[in-house]
Amino acid sequence: MLKWFDLGNKGLSFMMKNLKFEELNLSKEILKAIKDIGFEETFPIQTEAIPLMLSGRDIVGQAMTGTGKTAAFGIPLIEKIDPLNRVVQALVLCPTRELAIQISVEVNKFLKYKKYVSALPVYGGQPIERQIRTLKNGVQIIIGTPGRLLDHINRKTLDLRNVKIVVLDEADQMLDMGFRDDIEMILQETPRERQTVLFSATMPTEILNLAKKYQINPNNIKISHGKITVPTVEQVYFEVDSNKKKIELLSCLIDINNPRSSIVFCNTKRKVDDVVYRLSSRGYAVDGIHGDISQPKRDRIMAKFRKGDADILVATDVAARGIDVPHVEAVFNFDIPQDEESYVHRIGRTGRAGRGGKAFSFVTQRELSDFKAIKRYIQANIELQQIPLPDQIEVLNNNKILSEVKKILQEGNLEKYTSKVQQFVAKEYTSLDVAAALLKIVYNNNAKKNETNLHNQEQNNFYREHRFGRRKSFKASSGLRY
């Protein structure tokens, strides 16, 4: 398969052939692990980055989430580790705890047959004593967040003097989150002769300055804007009159598309809480994460979402960093992101590693200019769709039920139920009458469920408004300050 590839430092664009992993001169242990995972061909970022890293070159790579970036640096990083030397030889820095955990999970998949090589995620929120014990036993690869890494350095529990490779992943986000000084302090603890690899979704001046300061003649790898989004993601948008109507549209689309799991993105913590409240009032299995939620609670929420106990996750952009759940089938931009790169990060949470996915964006009049800028930036066709009418929704829901019936018929194993239907047919009804009656029961139950969810929501809204109204009036009459 041929794909366009842009080699930034030489100003060239050319057709890059995806390779079989067997063509990359990798060890038999790594190839066996790759086969177990199910990878066959390299992605463009892997095609170029793996040979360069194996040859010892510094790299500046522009790559989004979902493009195979972790394998692009993780595989060659492992190959360069001396398994007999139980000291830290490779360091991966990333902005969030979630991303550190995710990279660690992926790296350990590639380490499956590398018996004497180990990797450790190091991040805040986990007891530091546990990390110290593991470090004392000897670890070659550290994947961590800047704050916790500095903590270990200051405690003298982490020695970086033998580091041969440093990877800065999602470097733009680390800088946006104020980690510039922390990164530089950590890099100063590593040898000057190290190999430095930097991956970033965008390339602002600050990133280029960082590369210039800490890298030696790096190779620049860049996926052009036209290919920067995942091609397997179907992108559509709806023009919505107000934020209030977004909830109605969101509920409607979830019911129609019935995704196995989905992520709803909001721009603020307050909006996350509000959307979670409104969806849960309608009977959906939903959870939310943002910066004000404690780390233990966030871990529990993410565990539920990965297991499928929660179908819908509502999140801010920062809280969603590093989330990699393969079965996410839909992403909803409840709020249009404040910059183009965030849009690409969001929709990259679905359509992972070649899977299909859908991205729905809700655009108010105020957000329209920002959304047009996003469309220009990604150079992809985002189709405007009309908001479904009630009659259309009913037809779609009925079609969904009939599809489920067809699936059950194809699966078979209906003997237990066939005998019960035959009891009716033996009397005075035809099999067609019985099937129609059963479908009517299903349709009516769905309609009642929708009415119940709406009634519950109205009750909850009334209760909330009544409660808040009483609090407000009490506050005014008592003169107390809250």
2-227 with 233-388: one CATH topology?
yes
**Distance between CA atoms of residues 100 and 266, nearest Å:** 23
Q: What is the pLDDT of residue 111?
A: 96
Three-class SS of 180-221: HHHHHHHHCCCCCCCEEEEEECCCCHHHHHHHHHHCCCCEEE
Asked whether the predicted pLDDT for residue 135 surpasses 60, the reply is yes
Q: How far apart are CA 309 and CA 93, in angstroms?
A: 31
pLDDT of residue 340: 73
Phi and psi at residue 370, to the nearest 5°? -65, -40
Confidence of residue 415 (pLDDT cuts 50, 70, 90): confident
Give residue 463's pLDDT band: very low, low, confident or very high (50, 70, 90): very low
pTM: 0.56
Which one of 70-79, 276-285, 432-441 scores highest in mean pLDDT?
Answer: 70-79
* Residues 6+ positions from 22 with CB-CB distance below 8 Å: 31
Please check the confidence at residue 80 and state whether its pLDDT lies above 70: yes
Least confidently predicted of 46-50, 260-264, 347-351, 457-461: 457-461
Residue 380: the pLDDT is: 76
Confidence at residue 344, expressed as pLDDT on a 0 to 100 scale: 83
Greater model confidence, 402 or 297? 297
pLDDT for residue 469 is more than 80: no
| pLDDT for 476 beyond 80 | no
Asked if residue 402 has pLDDT above 50, the reply is yes
**What pLDDT shows up at residue 295?**
81
User: Looking at residues 384-402, what average pLDDT do you find?
Assistant: 69
The pLDDT confidence band at residue 6, using thresholds 50, 70 and 90, is very low
pLDDT at residue 85 is higher than 50: yes
The two three-digit tokens of residue 109, written as one number: 């998949």
**What pLDDT was estimated at residue 361?**
96
Question: How many Å apart are CA 236 and CA 185, to the nearest integer?
Answer: 44
pLDDT digits (tens, 9 = 90+) for 328-371: 899 999 999 877 777 888 888 887 656 678 999 999 988 888 88
For residue 35, the model assigns a pLDDT of 87
More confident position, 203 or 426: 203
pLDDT at residue 15 in the model: 41
Confidence of residue 400 (pLDDT cuts 50, 70, 90): low
Residue 377: partners with Cβ closer than 8 Å, 6 or more residues away: 225, 340, 343
Instruction: Please report which confidence band the pLDDT of residue 180 belongs to, taking 50, 70 and 90 as the band edges.
Output: very high
% the chain with pLDDT above 70: 80
> Other CB atoms closer than 10 Å to residue 276's CB: what's the count?
22
Least Cα distance to 96 among 196, 4, 169, 195 occurs for 169
Per-range mean pLDDT, top range of 53-62, 196-205, 301-310: 53-62
Strand partners, 384: 237
Per-residue pLDDT at 481: 30
Per-residue model confidence (pLDDT) at position 427:
65
Place domain 233-388 in its CATH homologous superfamily.
P-loop containing nucleotide triphosphate hydrolases (3.40.50.300)
Mean of all residue pLDDT scores within the chain: 81
The answer, yes or no, to whether residue 38 has pLDDT greater than 80, is: no
Specify the DSSP element, H or E, that contains 395. helix 390-411
pLDDT at 468 over 60: no
In the predicted model, is pLDDT for residue 253 greater than 60? yes
Q: Which CATH architecture has domain 2-227?
A: 3-Layer(aba) Sandwich (3.40)
192, 193, 197, 202: CA torsion to nearest 10: 40
Taking residues 4-20, report their average pLDDT. Answer: 45
- Structure confidence at residue 267 (pLDDT): 87
Element (H, E) at 270: helix 269-281
The percent of residues in the chain predicted with pLDDT above 90, rounded, is 41
What's the confidence (pLDDT) of residue 369? 80
CA distance 121 to 142: 6
Q: Write down the pLDDT at residue 450.
A: 52
What are 426-452's pLDDT values in tens digits? 667 777 777 777 777 776 666 555 554
- Give, in order, the Cα–Cα distances in Å from 42 to each of 64, 101, 324: 16, 23, 19
The owner of tokens 């210039």 is 212
| Secondary structure E strands in 180-337 | 195-200, 219-222, 233-239, 262-265, 286-289, 312-315, 330-333
- Higher pLDDT pick, 461 / 232: 232
CA distance 214 to 194: 10
Rg for the chain (alpha carbons), in Å? 26
Highest mean pLDDT among 95-99, 137-141, 317-321, 439-443: 137-141
Give the separation between CA 37 and CA 175, rounded to whole angstroms: 33
Q: HSE on the CB side for 67, CA within 13 Å?
A: 29
Which pLDDT value is given to residue 255? Answer: 85
Q: Mean of the pLDDT values across residues 400-404? A: 70
Question: Which comes out higher in pLDDT, residue 134 or 417?
Answer: 134
The pLDDT of residue 471 is above 50: no
The pLDDT score that the predictor gives to residue 406 is: 77
**What's the one-letter identity of residue 239?**
E
Domain boundaries, the chain: 2-227, 233-388, 412-478
